[in-house]
Amino acid sequence: MRKWIMIIVGIILLIVLVAVVWELIYFKSTAKQEVYILPQGFKGIVLVAYGQSDGLDDIIEDGKLIYKIPQSGVLKLKRKEATTITQTWYYFEDEQGLRTELSHCFSPCEEMKNNPDKIFAYKETNGGFENDGIQLEMTTFLVSTFHDTDSLNIADEKFNPIELLKNNR
């Protein structure tokens, strides 16, 4: 009886191992690589709006999707929706094209608290927004120091991306 239990446990472990390896291979082969490039010193809300007739086509460099965010923080793309499974990097770029990597966390995190003057990208979300019958697919994230998180979170709560798009035409 004990032999059968060991065989069953071994089979279950083998199935779990195969599933984990398959998932890792699947993620590696299907994950899109994205690079957000922001103007040097940018702080504020970043809005990437999809399905925009006056938007840009995707830019792909070295197999990575490149999102070059203008000073306004608003990037309009023709593509209909955000990518789903991604590996993402954030950079500042100066006037000479020199890029400096920007740290990222999901929400204000310990690293931000420990480095309150350092600028981070955080709170990235993909989704839809609707106002007055107008729908928008979008990606948003915030860029600031820890000192600015409270005021930027308040601005984010009041944020109307459709109005922002109207003002950026």
Taking the mean position of all CA atoms in its chain, how far away is CA 89?
Answer: 8
- Cα 162 to Cα 35, 51, 54, 86, 118, distances in angstroms: 24, 13, 14, 25, 30
Query: Mean of the pLDDT values across residues 84-90?
Result: 84
What is the C-alpha to C-alpha distance for residues 69 and 104, in angstroms, rounded to an integer? 16
Arithmetic mean of pLDDT, 149-166:
84
Note the pLDDT of residue 17: 83
At 135 the pLDDT is 82
pLDDT of residue 24: 61
- The token pair that represents 1 in the structure block: 């009886």
pLDDT band at 168 (very low <50, low <70, confident <90, very high): confident
pLDDT the model gives residue 15: 86
Give the pLDDT band (50/70/90) at residue 96.
Answer: very high
Highest-confidence range of 5-14, 106-115, 122-131, 146-155, by mean pLDDT? Answer: 146-155
The predicted model gives 96-104 an average pLDDT of 93
What's the Cα-to-Cα distance from 29 to each of 21, 85, 101, rounded to whole Å?
Answer: 12, 10, 24
Q: For all residues of the chain together, what is the average pLDDT?
A: 86
Residue 88: closest CA among 22, 43, 41, 139: 139
Which residue, among 61, 77, 64, has the nearest Cα to 31 in the 3D structure? 64
Residue 25's pLDDT is what?
Answer: 57
Ordered by start, the domain boundaries in the chain are 31-167
The residue among 84 and 7 whose pLDDT is bigger is: 7
Whole-model pTM: value is 0.77
pLDDT tens-digit series, residues 30-77: 567 899 999 999 999 999 999 999 999 999 999 899 999 999 999 999
Which pair of tokens denotes residue 60?
A: 């792909």
